[in-house]
Amino acid sequence: MDNQTSYTLSDDVIAHVAQLLQLAILTGTDIVDNLRMIRLTPLGEGLEALKLESEYKENSDSNVEKMMAEVQSYKENFNLQG
């Protein structure tokens, strides 16, 4: 029998993948490179689930916030010109 541990994805990882997919659809970009950058770590000792690595999560959240601010700025500027 194989002694290798198998892991599931935690809810935060699943939500993050969904967010990456939504961003890819909205921006017309390829999701593959974004998925390759995901960094995961075990949820805890004895728990067979993976969660987002804290540094990766912070960077990703920051990037999404910046992008949303740019979208809002573009939207405001577009409305002023229209």
Is it the case that residue 1 has pLDDT exceeding 80? Answer: no
Q: How many CB atoms lie within 10 A of CB 60?
A: 19
| Pairing status of strand 8-9 against strand 47-52 | parallel
Let me know if residue 19 belongs to a domain.
Answer: yes
Give percent above pLDDT 90 in the chain.
Answer: 49
**Does 29 or 2 have the greater pLDDT score?**
29
Write the pLDDT tens digit of every residue in 2-23.
Answer: 778 889 999 999 999 999 999 8
The answer to the question of residue 1 being in a domain is no
pLDDT at position 45: 78
What are the backbone angles phi and psi of residue 39, rounded to the nearest 5°? Answer: -120, 130
The model carries a pTM of: 0.78
- Domains held by the chain: number: 1
Range of the domain at 54: 8-81
Check if the beta carbon of residue 39 is closer than 8 Å to that of residue 13.
no
